[in-house]
A and B are shown apart, each in its own frame.
Chain A
Amino acid sequence: MSKNKKIVIGLGLAAIAFVIMMFSTMPSAGSKEITIEDLSKNGSNYEGDYIMTQGLLNKESVKWDADKLELRFELYEEGEGTLQVFHKGIKPDNFSEDVIVLVEGFIQKDGVFEAEKVQTKCPTKYEGEDMENYDSEMHKEMYKNDKKE
């Protein structure tokens, strides 16, 4: 066996070990993307899973306690269910609009979603917007398109 072959075999083994390492860290570090409809119907199936979901903000439902830094709100999908969310942390900007909200965290036994991360999604962040016709309808439109992907 030549030296080159030996080196290649040694390195091949290292590469395999590396791939195994990658696969083993994957599940613990990922978040499953689940729809609100699915969560509101079968929330208990996902207990203990780190989940990401998105929905439209019901702006009437926002309760923000500045002293405790606690944020409660409701997300909904039109005609497909709602989700109560609790977040310990900061209230994002423009949280009083009809924005799409992305949340990551765990669903609790009582069906409340405890979010570790809350992000608002505005229409295409880096593109110029048509502010004249900017309205929540567009958000909803976008949101539908998002779901089709």
Chain B
Amino acid sequence: MYLIGNISIYLGIAISLYGIIANLTGLKKKSSKWLESARGAVLSLAFVSSISSFLLLYLLGTSQFQYKYVASYTNESLPMAYKLTAFWAGNAGSLLLWAFLLSIYAAMVVFSKEKKNPMMPYVSSILMVNILFFFTVMALNVNPFEMTDKIPADGKGLNPMLQNPGMILHPVTLYMGYVGLAVPFAFGIAALILKKMDSEWIKLTRRWTLLAWLFLTLGNVIGGWWAYLELGWGGYWAWDPVENASFLPWLTVSAFLHSVMIQERKNMLKTWNVSLIILSYILTLFGTFLVRSGVLTSVHAFGDSNLGTYFLVFMAFMMLFSLYVVMTRYGLIKKESSPIEAYFSKESTFLLNNLILVAAAFAVFWGTMYPLISETFTGTKVNVGAPYFNKVMAPILLVLIVLMGICPLIAWQKAVFEKFMKNILWPLAMGIATAILLFVFGVKGIYAIIGLSATSFMFGTHLLEFARGIGARRKATKENILKAAFKLTVKNQRRYGGYIVHIGIALIAVGVISSHSYSTEILKTVDAGNSIKIGEYTLKFNELTEHMKNGNGVVAADVDVTYKGKDIGKIKPEKIFYETWPEPSTEVAIKTNWSQDLYVVLSSWENKDKVTFMVKVNPFVSWIWMGGIIMVIGTAFALIGGRPASIRYQTNKFAGR
């Protein structure tokens, strides 16, 4: 086992090196044999990384504690699901997962319909450079198949905070997003190297990019959901450096998804698009560097400073390489781009949305790095907390939402202002009506009211777009509403998929703005039989109980809840004490209805009859998760549909056909 594991890692290095050399030789000698062999190398890599991955899964599943990794993250009593998902609980395993996903993706790309595309050797070489890096790091620094000196009787177990379904999904989805971005990056660079200035690379990678973005969205939302359930501070996003690291590429890819439409239709923004995809890819490495290096204080710290250095060096190398390629081709790109024709057009609103998204990314990046920057220049480390991010990001995201409300109503090329004004009337009325309603109902907080009204306006625009599309279709075809709606969306999947994503964002915005502005919180110590009142809830504390569950000690508070005087059942916030872990973990008790969450944390206790609770009422938090799901559905919808790259390119002259 030990041998197989280690051999597979060294084989990974050897094969990826060979594949790169084979590609280069094939290109130089114009030999299809060499290129064919390089393709074989990619397939072998997928095979080798599968072997290492399955081997690690097997070792974890069978609790082979002679392996350091298995002993560090699992123990005998851990449920099987968590034994297996400990695969990505630590550094070594998660790097292996990365290499595995990357090589599977690479094999899919190399054996796709486009395998004879002249870009392919370059694309596969770039992907193999990435794979080579991961295998090298595993061989030199964090080997998942390292043995312990003496076999421990039992492993150390998995951090209880990671024993949650959200934590099974969150890392994997984020990785799939991170890794997926390597593909469009490789194509973008390959196109530049070949001086192909058309939009072919964008058409070919559209689905890859969307898929990566879908996973990034999912990963971020699940991460927030996990934090909300598991960390017990009542929030879902803390602008922690590592959260930011996963948010940054999401922002830049969101920009990219919009600006490529302009290139596809209008042949504009070529430099911008290539730069954006390079930036997004570099940001994935940067994010990983942040998590693994521990340069910033974070709850996510993996704490292996060595590994950070590897990533930093690799990131610098990739950055310089990309810069070199872009610089040497800059004149060419410029020559082939078309200028913007009118100020008032969809193109310029897209440009604006791109700038705002990139500005947002910059603001997040700046805030994340500020402690390091300030220490370098002033000697005092200034930590930037959530207040900075909230202050800076709130107006940026507000403008973004307003723009989402305006953009769909503006025509390509040159919009007519009168027509636009006519279109915007209804959504605007909806936004204003929302503001008035909130005001009449006595809702406080001018910023929140502005935010919610803007969101309502944006939602109105999308409703109108759907309504108009369905109306026009029914006029032409006399179909009934449902059929017309179905046909309309299926015939324009890219467009309406995008709109569905926007509607998801509207829901998230409602959740974020409301929970941020109207959350209420009470900290209170109560004696048995006494109650806590918060909003329209009353919580009566009965007693503290102790019991054992899965070999862990559980302390639970028994609480009866009434809402508006009606009994709505019991809740049991808990603290769980693990054999293998120094600190107890908090199990939050949550009661959700459509508009708010009652969120109860058992903080501490003096004795059986005297307990301190933290109780929060968080309005509309469930809308965030709902919005996330709708975003994913919309993305998937746009992904499945949409015309594939229709133009078949000339097959490679050297392919020996």
Contact between B584 and A94 (Cβ–Cβ < 8 Å)? yes
Chain B residues, Cβ within 8 Å of A1 = none
Contact between B301 and A129 (Cβ–Cβ < 8 Å)? no
Does A47 touch B at the CB level, under 8 Å?
no
Does B467 touch A at the CB level, under 8 Å?
no
User: How far is B339's CA from A124's CA once the two chains are assembled, in angstroms?
Assistant: 53
Contact between A26 and B388 (Cβ–Cβ < 8 Å)? yes
**Interface bits B251-294 vs A (CB < 8 Å: 1, else 0):** 00000000000000000000000000000000000000000000
**Interface bits A1-25 vs B (CB < 8 Å: 1, else 0):** 0111001000100110010011001
Contact between A52 and B383 (Cβ–Cβ < 8 Å)? yes
Chain B residues, Cβ within 8 Å of A33 = 371, 380-383
- Which of B52-60, B101-109, B606-614 lies at the interface? B606-614
Contact between B156 and A128 (Cβ–Cβ < 8 Å)? yes
Chain A residues, Cβ within 8 Å of B151 = none
Chain B residues, Cβ within 8 Å of A131 = 156, 580-582
Does A58 touch B at the CB level, under 8 Å?
no
- Which of A72-80, A85-93, A107-115 lies at the interface? A85-93
Chain B residues, Cβ within 8 Å of A22 = 363, 366, 392
Chain A residues, Cβ within 8 Å of B614 = 90
Chain B residues, Cβ within 8 Å of A122 = 582-583
Does B387 touch A at the CB level, under 8 Å?
yes
Contact between A26 and B351 (Cβ–Cβ < 8 Å)? no
User: How far is B92's CA from A98's CA once the two chains are assembled, in angstroms?
Assistant: 30
User: How far is B610's CA from A64's CA once the two chains are assembled, in angstroms?
Assistant: 13
Tell me how far the C-beta of B73 lies from the nearest C-beta in chain A, rounded to whole angstroms.
5
Chain B residues, Cβ within 8 Å of A40 = none
Tell me how far the C-beta of B426 lies from the nearest C-beta in chain A, rounded to whole angstroms.
29
Tell me how far the C-beta of B374 lies from the nearest C-beta in chain A, rounded to whole angstroms.
8
Total count of chain A residues near the partner, CB < 8 A: 43
Total count of chain B residues near the partner, CB < 8 A: 59
**Interface bits B337-365 vs A (CB < 8 Å: 1, else 0):** 00111110000100110010001000100
User: How far is B582's CA from A134's CA once the two chains are assembled, in angstroms?
Assistant: 9
Tell me how far the C-beta of A58 lies from the nearest C-beta in chain B, rounded to whole angstroms.
18
Contact between A25 and B392 (Cβ–Cβ < 8 Å)? yes
User: How far is B298's CA from A126's CA once the two chains are assembled, in angstroms?
Assistant: 11
Tell me how far the C-beta of A39 lies from the nearest C-beta in chain B, rounded to whole angstroms.
13
User: How far is B603's CA from A125's CA once the two chains are assembled, in angstroms?
Assistant: 20
User: How far is B301's CA from A102's CA once the two chains are assembled, in angstroms?
Assistant: 15
User: How far is B384's CA from A97's CA once the two chains are assembled, in angstroms?
Assistant: 29
Tell me how far the C-beta of B343 lies from the nearest C-beta in chain A, rounded to whole angstroms.
7
Chain A residues, Cβ within 8 Å of B545 = none
Does B427 touch A at the CB level, under 8 Å?
no
Does B481 touch A at the CB level, under 8 Å?
no
Q: Which of A32, A64, A94, A125 contacts B301 (CB 8 A)?
A: A125
Does A60 touch B at the CB level, under 8 Å?
no
Does B40 touch A at the CB level, under 8 Å?
no
Does B385 touch A at the CB level, under 8 Å?
yes
User: How far is B156's CA from A129's CA once the two chains are assembled, in angstroms?
Assistant: 7
Chain A residues, Cβ within 8 Å of B651 = none
User: How far is B378's CA from A34's CA once the two chains are assembled, in angstroms?
Assistant: 13
Tell me how far the C-beta of B64 lies from the nearest C-beta in chain A, rounded to whole angstroms.
15
User: How far is B71's CA from A100's CA once the two chains are assembled, in angstroms?
Assistant: 26
User: How far is B190's CA from A87's CA once the two chains are assembled, in angstroms?
Assistant: 58
Q: Given A66-B612, A128-B156, does the pair A30, B388 have CB atoms closer than 8 Å?
A: yes
**Interface bits A114-140 vs B (CB < 8 Å: 1, else 0):** 000000101011111111001000000
Q: Which of B71, B343, B370, B525 contacts A26 (CB 8 A)?
A: B370
Does A31 touch B at the CB level, under 8 Å?
yes
User: How far is B388's CA from A66's CA once the two chains are assembled, in angstroms?
Assistant: 32
Q: Quick one: which of B607-657 are within 8 Å of A by CB?
A: 610, 612, 614
**Interface bits B202-245 vs A (CB < 8 Å: 1, else 0):** 00000000000000000000000000000000000000000000
Does A141 touch B at the CB level, under 8 Å?
no
Q: Which of A21, A52, A89, A128 contacts B157 (CB 8 A)?
A: A128
Contact between A30 and B383 (Cβ–Cβ < 8 Å)? yes
Contact between A94 and B157 (Cβ–Cβ < 8 Å)? no
User: How far is B604's CA from A125's CA once the two chains are assembled, in angstroms?
Assistant: 21
Q: Which of A28, A30, A130 contacts B370 (CB 8 A)?
A: A30
User: How far is B583's CA from A120's CA once the two chains are assembled, in angstroms?
Assistant: 10
Does B437 touch A at the CB level, under 8 Å?
no
User: How far is B530's CA from A59's CA once the two chains are assembled, in angstroms?
Assistant: 31
Q: Given A126-B302, A128-B90, does the pair A34, B582 have CB atoms closer than 8 Å?
A: no
Q: Which of B161, B359, B371, B523 contacts A90 (CB 8 A)?
A: B523
Chain A residues, Cβ within 8 Å of B300 = 125-126
Chain A: CB-nearest residue to B391 = A25
Chain B residues, Cβ within 8 Å of A11 = 351-352, 355
Q: Which of B301, B385, B606 contacts A29 (CB 8 A)?
A: B385
Chain A: CB-nearest residue to B360 = A18
Known: A3-B343, A25-B392, A29-B391. 11 other contacts (CB 8 A): A4-B340, A11-B351, A22-B392, A26-B370, A30-B374, A32-B383, A66-B604, A124-B303, A125-B300, A128-B71, A128-B158
- Measured CB to CB, the residues of A under 8 A from B are 2-4, 7, 11, 14-15, 18, 21-22, 25-26, 28-34, 52, 64, 66-67, 69, 89-91, 93-94, 97, 102, 104, 120, 122, 124-131, 134
| 6 nearest A-B pairs in the assembled complex, by CB-CB distance | A29-B388, A128-B72, A33-B381, A29-B387, A128-B156, A30-B382
* Interface CB pairs A-B, < 8 A, 9: A25-B388, A64-B604, A69-B525, A93-B604, A97-B582, A104-B385, A128-B73, A128-B90, A129-B156
